[in-house]
Amino acid sequence: MKIGMGYDVHRLVEDRKLILGGVEIPYEKGLLGHSDADVLVHAIMDALLGAMGKGDIGKHFPDTDNKYKSISSLKLMAQVKELLTSEGYSIINIDSTIIAQRPKMAGYIEEMRTNIADVLNIEIENINIKATTEEGLGFTGEGLGIASQAICLLK
C-alpha cells in the first residue's frame, strides 16, 4: 500500500472558465493556467503520481509544452491512470478538498465525483470531494485564487 498527497493552487482571473473536477462552474472568474487549470484534478494527479514515486504533474505535463495548452485536465488524468495501471497499481480511495471562498461548490460535487470516477475507472464511493472556505482569510478567502488538496491510497 502506498499513500500520496497532492496540492495545487491557481489565481482567479477574468475571461477564463472556472473548471473544477471537469465541471464548468458559472462564475465571473476562472483559474489562470497553461491547461484548464483544474486545481482539483491537478491535486489528485499529484497525489497519484506521488504515491507511485513518479514526481508531479509538472514533470509529466510541463507548462512549456504547447501540446498541453488549454487541455482538459481530465485528459491528463487519463494518462496518469494509464501509468498507474502499467505500474500494476490500483486505487483504493481518494479524499480531496477544494478551498475557495466562492463560488459555492455543493451543487457540483456529485458531477465532479462522477467525472473523476469515470476517468480513473473506479467506483464513485471511493472518491470523496469536500469544499471549504477560509473564512475570508488568505488568498483563497480574499477570492484571489482557489486551492485544492488530495490524498490517495494505492495498492
The grid coordinates listed for 77 are: 488524468
How far is it, in rounded angstroms, from Cα 74 to Cα 90? 18
CA nearest neighbour of 56 among 42, 69, 70:
42
Binding residues: 8-10, 34-35, 42, 56-58, 61-65, 100-106, 132-135, 139
Beta bridge pairs of residue 15: none
The annotated binding site for a divalent metal cation is made up of 8, 10, 42
Cell of 47: 497525489
Q: What is the DSSP letter of 57?
A: H
